[in-house]
Structure 1
Amino acid sequence: MTSRFTIIRDTAAAAAIPKGSVVAMGNFDGVHLGHRAVIEAALKMSRSHGKPAFAVTFEPHPRKFFSPNTPQFRLTDETNKLRLLAGTGLAGAVVMTFDAARAGTTAQDFIHHDLIARLGVSGIAVGYDFHFGKGRVGSPALLVSEAAQLGIEVDVQPYIDIDERPVSSSAIRMALEEGQISDATAMLGGPWFVTGEVIHGEKRGRDLGYPTANIRLSKECSLRHGIYAVRVGRGQGKDHRRFDGVASFGRRPTFDNGAPLLEVFLFDFTGDLYGTTLDVAFIGFIREELIFDSVEALIRQMDDDAAVARTMLAAAPDAFPKLGNID
């Protein structure tokens, strides 16, 4: 039986935070391989110290605070970020509200008030590019300098690259925008996924012989429009079920060219999914979105897409995001 993943927010009393904990700090958008190196360093440190390890992260993402009117394509919303963190072996997460007060906190105050006085940390793990405090003047070097004087261990992880391409959340976003699913998967250490509630659509898929589960993604999602091979998760724990499928993300140019919608066809499934929450993991990009001259041509293409998706999924590792329970 796994231990409960504890989420601690700004409103929690200081007594709720286990003193002497080790923390992995970062925004952790996507919880990619670079983030996982920081988390593993914190876990290793926590075993050495005999203390629990927590993530320290910030919500909303600082980019959203500083540029509220600029679309921000997040790899993971807050809930899915926490679910991924809960699947790493961490004891919990400290979620700090990023607001005007946080943006105005000096780096020294963040170290001495938040990390030392409030959290009482015994160790800190960060990535090489982690910056914090007013004006982003806080750096890993400052953490090492300040914390070392207080006997607090600091581990700074170097960048990770794949084929000489540094792993970063921005590089993963770019890969998804280009439909480069294999590149995104490699940098994440597993498939990128989205979560959403199945909503009613126009029922066109049913008439075409491909009834779909329709999910409205964030307006800021800039995943390339097209057809994908996907794996779909439903439920948690002993109730978790997995399905293979093929999905379309886009505007349906043959019909209405409307707002972007994720439409997922689950292979070998019958039943009602309306109101159900699904996790959809993207395994491979099949083709771009096209306009068809006839419904018959569209159905022939959908048959081909389903066959390609089955082949892709059969050849792909049986991977799915490792998600923890945060309920």
Structure 2
Amino acid sequence: MAVFHRNETREPLPEHLRGGVIAIGNFDGVHRGHQSVLQRALDIAAARGVPALVLTFEPHPRTVFQPDHPVFRLTPAPLKARILEGMGFAAVIEYPFNRQFSQMSAGDFVRQVLMEWLHAGHIVTGFDFHFGKGREGGPAFLMAAGDENGFGVTLVDAYRDENAEVISSSRIRALLAEGAVTEAAGLLGYHYTVEAEVIGGKQLGRTLGFPTANMQLPPEVPLRNGIYAVRFRRGDGALFDGVASFGRRPTVDSNGVPLLETFVFDFSGDLYGETCTVSFFEHLRDELKFDGLEALVVQMKRDEEEARALLAGVRPIGAIDAKIAF
């Protein structure tokens, strides 16, 4: 799948992608609510025999307007693109969101982006989508623009869970801050997954018999500190069960920066420099401060046993989950 970036040269979209069905939104998390919009676009595209594309915006608008308080991204752009590819989209267009773009009028957005650049045949978006300077463009504006310019518009209602609550990225972020990764997976439709480069550490785990793959996540990630049962995927696609610790390691390094340290089961080798993913299945316990390394090792063995038992019985909760964590 191709990922296109809008740039100042206005490089034209390839001919075979023009006239397609375009799903528009930020889609951070690609959760079940987003999937209802995205699947509608895929269905319409399949019925018409045209490509399905996603138009999204990078970075997240809130990060542009509040740079000192960047948004915790559930799915960074590369991971989001892979999920969308797995769903069946032909391309992802990542439009650069900056202050200049935020001043573009709704009419210019329709003319310059949807018509002149993307040659849109049909637009699918959420019922509350707004665009243009001051959010002047809303559903009625978009539908009128479609009538005028010859493209169709489908608006998708908010998706609700089994308890009739709207599924949202902010709701999922709040669950992750509580360590409720199982509940978050139910809203996402797949197990929450992070992606980062494996970096060097103090190698204390190696000396204790628990070598770990260490990752430093963005500082805005609010994931609850603690021990998790996880799945670890290497860059080449190889998948392993594991147990991961996220936090500041209170027994050995209470002043350190938060790290995600994954003990990868049944693996030996060098992972340094690889970009890997970790999928979270269960929060086993909070971080604890132990009276010495011997007590720590005893607990780590218990954590390993619990994680192995839990992961032995897991099954994918959907098609996206099957591609990411299985």
Q: Secondary structure at the match of 2:87?
A: coil
8 Å CA contact retained: 1:191, 1:321 = no
- How many angstroms apart in 1 are the aligned matches of 2:89 and 2:76? 19
Q: Which residue of 2 aligns with 1:39?
A: 38
Q: Which residue of 1 aligns with 2:6?
A: 10
TM-score, length basis structure 2: 0.92
Q: Which residue of 1 aligns with 2:180?
A: 180
1:176-214 residue CA offsets vs partner (Å, 9 max, x unmatched): 111011111111110111111211111111122111111
For the pair 1:284 / 2:285, whether they are aligned, the reply is no
8 Å CA contact retained: 2:62, 2:70 = no
1:200-234 residue CA offsets vs partner (Å, 9 max, x unmatched): 11111112211111111111111111100000111
Q: Which residue of 2 aligns with 1:305?
A: 303
Q: Which residue of 1 aligns with 2:132?
A: 133
1:11-36 residue CA offsets vs partner (Å, 9 max, x unmatched): 35225353211100011111111111
**Shift in Å at residue 145 of structure 1?**
2.6
Return the match for 1:242 from 230, 239, 243. Answer: 239
For the pair 1:100 / 2:99, whether they are aligned, the reply is yes
- Counterpart residue type for residue 249 of structure 2: R
Q: How does 1:117-128 map to 2 (within 5 A)?
A: 117-128=116-127
- Number of aligned positions between the proteins: 316
Q: Secondary structure at the match of 1:161?
A: coil
- How many angstroms apart in 2 are the aligned matches of 1:15 and 1:302? 52
Q: Which residue of 2 aligns with 1:220?
A: 220
**Shift in Å at residue 8 of structure 1?**
1.6
Structure 1: which 5+ residue stretches go unaligned? none
8 Å CA contact retained: 1:34, 1:127 = no
For the pair 1:252 / 2:277, whether they are aligned, the reply is no
**Shift in Å at residue 143 of structure 1?**
1.4
Q: Secondary structure at the match of 2:54?
A: strand
- How many angstroms apart in 1 are the aligned matches of 2:176 and 2:21? 33
Report which stretch shifted further, 145-154 or 27-36: 145-154
Q: Which residue of 2 aligns with 1:322?
A: 323
- How many angstroms apart in 2 are the aligned matches of 1:245 and 1:252? 18
TM-score, length basis structure 1: 0.92
- How many angstroms apart in 1 are the aligned matches of 2:114 and 2:61? 18
Seen in structure 2, the aligned counterparts of structure 1 residues 84 and 170 have a Cα distance that, compared at 3 Å, is: same
**Shift in Å at residue 148 of structure 1?**
2.7
**Shift in Å at residue 67 of structure 1?**
0.7
For the pair 1:51 / 2:47, whether they are aligned, the reply is no
- How many angstroms apart in 2 are the aligned matches of 1:125 and 1:211? 47
**Shift in Å at residue 315 of structure 1?**
2.7
- How many angstroms apart in 2 are the aligned matches of 1:79 and 1:110? 25
1:129-171 residue CA offsets vs partner (Å, 9 max, x unmatched): 3221111232223212321333321111111122222111111
- Counterpart residue type for residue 142 of structure 1: F
- Counterpart residue type for residue 102 of structure 1: F
**Shift in Å at residue 84 of structure 1?**
1.4
- How many angstroms apart in 2 are the aligned matches of 1:83 and 1:57? 14
Report which stretch shifted further, 314-323 or 164-173: 314-323
For the pair 1:265 / 2:263, whether they are aligned, the reply is yes
**Shift in Å at residue 7 of structure 1?**
1.6
- How many angstroms apart in 2 are the aligned matches of 1:196 and 1:8? 22
8 Å CA contact retained: 1:7, 1:92 = yes
**Shift in Å at residue 318 of structure 1?**
4.3
- How many angstroms apart in 2 are the aligned matches of 1:33 and 1:278? 24
Cα RMSD (Å): 1.6
- How many angstroms apart in 2 are the aligned matches of 1:318 and 1:8? 30
Q: Which residue of 1 aligns with 2:153?
A: 154
**Shift in Å at residue 49 of structure 1?**
2.3
Q: How does 1:63-78 map to 2 (within 5 A)?
A: 63-78=62-77
Larger relative contact order (Cα-Cα within 8 Å, sequence gap ≥ 6): 1
- Counterpart residue type for residue 58 of structure 1: F
Report which stretch shifted further, 285-294 or 223-232: 285-294
Structure 2: which 5+ residue stretches go unaligned? none
- How many angstroms apart in 2 are the aligned matches of 1:213 and 1:159? 39
